[in-house]
Amino acid sequence: MEQKQKTMTYADAGVDIDAGNRAVAMMKKSVHSTLRPEVLTGIGGFGGLFALDIARYRQPVLVSGTDGVGTKLRVAFLTDKHNTIGIDAVAMCVNDILTLGAQPLFFLDYLAVGKLKPEQVADIVSGVAEGCRQAGCALIGGETAEMPDFYGAGEYDIAGFAVGVVDKNKIIDGSTIMPGDVLVGLAASGLHSNGYSLARRVLLDKTGYQVHQVHPLLGCTVGEEMLRPTRIYVSAVLPLLDKFEVKGMAHITGGGLVENLPRILPKGTAVQIDTGTWEIPAVFKVIAQEGPVETGEMYRVFNMGIGMVLVVPIAQTEDIIAELKSRGEDARVIGRVIEGNGKVQLI
């Protein structure tokens, strides 16, 4: 008698549809916590509907941004802690569109995993939801893809997509920046989400520390320091825009102060930054010493403790800093705009 051959299933190939359904059920509460009145759809549809309140804007312009978290994910894998990495995914996108004066409206994520573990996915999405709540935007949709053989056990990648809105006549593009204007720096929470290939090489490989070990100069474990979520500046900065003249903003990501500030400078200007006006966080001192890494390279790779820079008129500086501090920001004057060829001078 001929033996019947066993049929194959999608699960046999490494994709578990039932696990995906459980993950969706587990993330529903987190997603729902981010919803705004303009959201017309719930989780599980083929697309997210968002009804823009055009009565609030004369000439609404949509502003979009996308980014990932980079090799910071490797630290999440090593620590098996996944509930903050989603905050980074949101922060990298909403801080970018904020620089144009945009209010973040909604966010979407893309999560690709080697093997779908519902609890892990729920943890990741809870972080995304927390980031959305901090930014005041709705988590309107996303995609979770199970991709066996592409990622190792417990590994994944995440990317985010943010959409915001700004009135056309209120777009902040740096075009009015002029010599004499002041740079106001807002403190970072730490490494944020940039330079991790170098940071990991030094903090883990070169020093020999494990992620669960306390580094005496950091005052916490290496993993805790490296997983500090990127600071989201939306709630502190947006209220300023209706009260003060903010001429330009730069989100200090990969490239640091040296490469991000020139992106908003008009022709004929440059900036001078006094690096002694703020305390460099310990993590950057450790990387510089243990690498060792030269000072110039540090400022080209890391934020060095400043996560966002506002360019404002000198006459409004004190009031702007006072308002930022009232909203919990560590803000201070870090430099000024001068005549020049678009370069950043560190003094």
CATH number at residue 280: 3.90.650.10
For the stretch 249-259, what's the b/e string if a residue is b when 16 or more beta carbons lie within 10 angstroms of its beta carbon? bbbbbbbbbbb
Task: Decide if 257 is inside a domain.
Answer: yes
Task: Decide if 296 is inside a domain.
Answer: yes
Give whole-number Cα distances, 21 to 112, 124, 146, in Å: 15, 16, 12
CB 136 within 8 A of CB 210: no
Q: Whole-prediction pTM value?
A: 0.93
Residues of the chain with pLDDT > 70, as a percent, come to: 95
Task: Decide if 7 is inside a domain.
Answer: no
Same domain, 211 and 253: yes
More confident call, 20 vs 157 = 157
Task: Decide if 4 is inside a domain.
Answer: no
Task: Decide if 175 is inside a domain.
Answer: no
Same domain, 204 and 153: no
Among the listed residues 284, 289, 285, 286, the one whose alpha carbon sits nearest the alpha carbon of residue 302: 284
Same domain, 56 and 20: yes
Same domain, 272 and 137: no
Same domain, 122 and 189: no
Structure confidence at residue 22 (pLDDT): 76
Same domain, 146 and 189: no
Same domain, 88 and 31: yes
Task: Decide if 86 is inside a domain.
Answer: yes
Same domain, 154 and 194: no
Same domain, 132 and 193: no
Domain final residue, candidates 170, 199, 215: 170
* String of DSSP letters for 72-109: HHHHHHHHT--SSHHHHHHHHHHHHHHTTTPEEEEEEE
Task: Decide if 36 is inside a domain.
Answer: yes
Domain final residue, candidates 143, 170, 197: 170
Same domain, 204 and 266: yes
Same domain, 241 and 92: no
Domain with residue 114: its CATH number is 3.30.1330.10
Same domain, 166 and 301: no
Range in 23-27, 202-206, 256-260 with the lowest mean pLDDT: 23-27
Q: How far is 293 from 195, CA to CA, in rounded Å?
A: 12
- List pLDDT tens digits, range 179-227: 999 999 999 999 999 999 999 999 999 888 999 999 999 999 999 999 9
Count of domains observed in the chain = 2
- List pLDDT tens digits, range 36-89: 888 887 776 778 888 888 888 899 999 999 999 999 999 999 999 999 999 999
Task: Decide if 1 is inside a domain.
Answer: no
- List pLDDT tens digits, range 298-309: 999 999 999 999
Range of the domain at 124: 13-170
* pLDDT over threshold 70, residue 315: yes
Domain final residue, candidates 170, 198, 229: 170
